[in-house]
Structure 1
Amino acid sequence: MTDFAEFQSVVELRRYTLHPGRRDELVELFEREFVETQEAVGMRLFGLFREPAEPDKFLWLRGFRDMESRRAALESFYYGPVWRAHGPAANETMIDASDVLLLRPSGPGFPVPDGAEASRLVVTVCHPTGPVKEFSEYFADTVAPALRESGVETFGHFETEPAENTFPRLPVRENEMVFVWFAKFGDAHRELLDRTGAELEGRLERPWRQLELAPTARSVLR
């Protein structure tokens, strides 16, 4: 894991809408066929998640050293034998795979795995009214410390990567400037996070999107 941080220079947050009842089918196929094979061509898979509140959603994260290595890795994988063999079965489980954010670091990244037992996580997507960098700095200086004092440790701070999508076969949500952050989640945190969202309303174009995540068996982020 010495190169764990290197693959956080460009991160894809991918959220799929699946046909009803087919999520476990995709998770099993994904974990069996698409983990080592993607990493072998130059990516790192950080997280694979079910959403407890959304039985037909699957969210996952993968990272790259830079945009050029992203292009090369995606070309190698999606034009390669593993995707040719198993991609059609994966696609058959999906209704929509276009909800994708292309991100770059904007603060602390994903922590190196420490073998901890799986816990629920939450990812929050914010659309700032002003420059995303200013919002990121405000979050780091004001919001994150307040959350930490109340027992919520944030990590994985990212913002939109504005570079052109160099692998247009896989579309991303372009022309959106977002700030994204992760935290471990417990029932005691729900009211605190709701209150934080309300306090940030004046700095956001729309209410934040907050998704509770349950790591799958092979998720690195736990």
Structure 2
Amino acid sequence: MTNVTLVPHGALTVTPTATSSADDFDFLIGRWVIQNRKLKARLSNSHEWDTFEATGTLRKVLHGRGNIDDFITAFDGKPFEGMALRIFDPATKLWSIYWSDTHRGTLDKPVVGSFDGDIGRFYCRDTYEGKDIVVMFQWDKTDLAKPVWSQAFSADNGRTWEWNWYMYFSRPAQQITFREPIRVLELRNYQMQPDMTQRFVQYFSDHFVGTQQAQGAMLPGIFTVQGEADRFFWMRGFGDMASRLSYLQNFYGGPVWKGYGREANSMMIDSDQVHLLRPWRDDGVGDAALGDGRYAFVVIDYYHAKEGKRDALLQALTNVYSAKMKEQGVLVSLWVTEMQTNDFPRLPVIQEKDLVVTISLFLKEGDYVEGALNQAEVEKYAIRKETVTLDRVLNR
């Protein structure tokens, strides 16, 4: 284990472990969703904690001898970004970890240390509200899929420690496993400001994917629209209308949207092109199709049925298109409009009673088979048909 010698009012002496190396933080490379538990008041015998979510991404620098990660969240409705810089000294075999954030104009004093197996400890002397303290960071990578960072302060030269912050890391889902069937689905098609789509994709991925999933929304995917450079498309699902209302109230009244919503809205021209749907048959097929992140090319067909022809159209799609796609291993789900009252009018939705939607998923664009129904069949049942083709954005 990293050895530290604490001389009262003197310098820290940190000795590395024999196995300390520049690869010690490789487990942290990539994107994370971070659940935080932070003591409200430090070194005051407090037992009250704040909990909140953040996202982070780590990349290696300095030809592998260092790394940088970000920490993105919101406090009191204001965006907050932190940054950690870690540098490995091959001469001393010690890591130095520096922190800065949007409240600072400098790097904090580095904590210094190393890993012993799955546990890393890092120390420095500092002050907190006028008190001389020792700071300790601890990394626990026993479970590489769910590492834990924690921080402790000591005001008595290391005799006792107060743990004041825990971060619990998990990877954003790639292939999504939903906690319950999707019985309410929003198809959200945004018109973006010119040349703003790619920036919005990154912004949305960084701030809204992990946070929405953590709060109970089911996100089958985010997409760009083929042939329309200024379009962004995403799906959001719920177990029922009651859970949708509860989620929307909490998310749009919560700190993440308050912190980042204004910037997101500034990149859009229109976000009201939203269809509110339910599965035609509650058989789980829709979940199987929507939740499989391997399917990178998505085709959505909107059929505007003639009056009284909706159910006949659905039957024709089942007998002809779905059967044809099933033979080729394509996942297809059929949806109709959810006609319950939109009880969150702040977010308008389209509720067309004779609308039928098919969502078809292909591994790649080359697998696409065109023509859900031939033109004569479409004209028999529908006033018109609109098709949107989507490329899934993978959130790595």
Identify which range, 82-91 or 100-109, moves more after superposition: 100-109
Name 1:21's counterpart in structure 2: 195
Structure 1 Cα separation of the partners of residues 195 and 316 of structure 2: 41
* Conservation of the 8 A alpha-carbon contact between 1:100 and 1:173: yes
Correspondences of 1:1-222 after superposition (within 5 Å): 4=178, 6-107=180-281, 108-111=285-288, 113=291, 116=294, 119-129=296-306, 130-149=308-327, 151=328, 153-183=330-360, 184=362, 186-187=365-366, 189=368, 192-193=370-371, 196-206=374-384, 208-218=385-395
* Conservation of the 8 A alpha-carbon contact between 2:176 and 2:292: no
Structure 2 Cα separation of the partners of residues 3 and 189 of structure 1: 25
* Conservation of the 8 A alpha-carbon contact between 1:152 and 1:189: no
Structure 1 Cα separation of the partners of residues 332 and 325 of structure 2: 11
What secondary structure is seen at the aligned counterpart in 1 of 2:249?
A: helix
Q: What amino acid sits opposite 1:69 in the alignment?
A: S
> Mind listing any 5+ residue stretches in structure 2 that lack a counterpart?
1-174
What secondary structure is seen at the aligned counterpart in 1 of 2:371?
A: helix
Structure 2 Cα separation of the partners of residues 24 and 173 of structure 1: 26
Deviations 1:4-40 (A, max 9, x none): 2724110000000001100011111111110121122
Structure 2 Cα separation of the partners of residues 59 and 111 of structure 1: 20
- Shift in alpha-carbon separation, 1:115–1:91, aligned structure 2, 3 A: closer
> Mind listing any 5+ residue stretches in structure 1 that lack a counterpart?
none
Q: Following TM superposition, where does structure 1 have runs of at least 4 consecutive aligned residues deviating by more than 6 angstroms?
A: none
Higher helix share: 1
C-alpha displacement of 1:3: 6.3
- Shift in alpha-carbon separation, 1:7–1:148, aligned structure 2, 3 A: closer
Deviations 1:33-54 (A, max 9, x none): 1012112222111110001210
Deviations 1:88-113 (A, max 9, x none): 11101110111100000114303265
C-alpha displacement of 1:156: 2.4
- Shift in alpha-carbon separation, 1:53–1:110, aligned structure 2, 3 A: farther
Deviations 1:164-207 (A, max 9, x none): 001100000134431111222635746x428635531221012x
Q: What amino acid sits opposite 2:341 in the alignment?
A: E
C-alpha displacement of 1:147: 4.2
Q: What amino acid sits opposite 2:365 in the alignment?
A: G
Higher strand share: 2
Q: What amino acid sits opposite 2:226 in the alignment?
A: P
Structure 1 Cα separation of the partners of residues 355 and 224 of structure 2: 22
Structure 2 Cα separation of the partners of residues 134 and 14 of structure 1: 27
* Conservation of the 8 A alpha-carbon contact between 2:322 and 2:332: no
Structure 2 Cα separation of the partners of residues 214 and 2 of structure 1: 17
Structure 2 Cα separation of the partners of residues 128 and 152 of structure 1: 27
TM-score, length-normalised on structure 1?
A: 0.86
Deviations 1:132-168 (A, max 9, x none): 333222211233213444x472412111001000110
* Conservation of the 8 A alpha-carbon contact between 2:299 and 2:390: yes
RMSD: 2.5
Q: What amino acid sits opposite 2:213 in the alignment?
A: E
Q: Matched residue pairs, number? A: 215
Structure 2 Cα separation of the partners of residues 78 and 125 of structure 1: 29
What secondary structure is seen at the aligned counterpart in 2 of 1:31?
A: helix
What secondary structure is seen at the aligned counterpart in 2 of 1:218?
A: coil
Q: What amino acid sits opposite 2:200 in the alignment?
A: L
Structure 2 Cα separation of the partners of residues 39 and 50 of structure 1: 20
| Structure with larger RCO (C-alpha < 8 A, sep 6+) | 1
**Rg comparison, structure with higher value:** 2
